[in-house]
Structure 1
Amino acid sequence: MKDFFLAIEDLFVNVLFAPFDALAVLELDNWWSANILSWVFVVIAMVAFVYWMLQLKEHSKNNEEDKSVTSHSYL
């Protein structure tokens, strides 16, 4: 059983986390290379947000949403 858990440790430490170790080496060299991945994710999030807002505007313009107040009778 000990070998099983050592194999899992080896998989994660030496294989799956290897790209993160490569990024850690880049961090020491230069600020831009350390933060480029973060900026890529920020740009992807901004594009997704703009796309989502445009979709909401389009559906609102087509009156596809049920805006009736009958969903809660206690109101």
Structure 2
Amino acid sequence: MKDLFQFIENLFTDVLFAPFHALRALELENWWAANIFSWIFMLIGMVAFVYWMLQLKEHHQNGEEDKSITSHSFL
């Protein structure tokens, strides 16, 4: 059983986290390159937000939204 846990430890520290260790070393040289994942996730989030707002606007203009008071039982 101990070998199983050591395998899991080695898998994460030596294999799966290796790209992040490389980014940590890169951080001292170039801040922008070290934070590329953060910028990519922020870009994806902004695109998703704009898409969601456009969809809400389209449904609002088509009158598909149920704005009645009884639309939810708890109201």
Q: Same-fold call, TM > 0.5?
A: yes
Q: Against the structure 1 CA distance between its residues 24 and 71, is the aligned structure 2 distance closer, same or farther, given a 3 Å change threshold?
A: same
After superposing on structure 2, the runs of 4+ consecutive aligned residues of structure 1 that deviate more than 4 Å are 72-75
Say what the alpha-carbon RMSD is for the aligned residues: 1.8
**Superposition TM-score, scaled by structure 2 size:** 0.85
Count of aligned residue pairs for this structure pair: 75
> Corresponding residue for 1:6?
6
Distance in structure 1 (CA, Å) of the matches to 2:74 and 2:5: 57
Q: Gaps spanning 5+ residues in structure 1: where?
A: none
Q: 1:18 maps to what in 2?
A: 18
Q: Do structure 1's residue 35 and structure 2's residue 16 form an aligned pair?
A: no
Residue type of the partner of 1:62? N
Q: CA deviation at 1:50?
A: 0.6
TM-score with structure 1 setting the length: 0.85
Q: Secondary structure at the match of 1:52?
A: helix
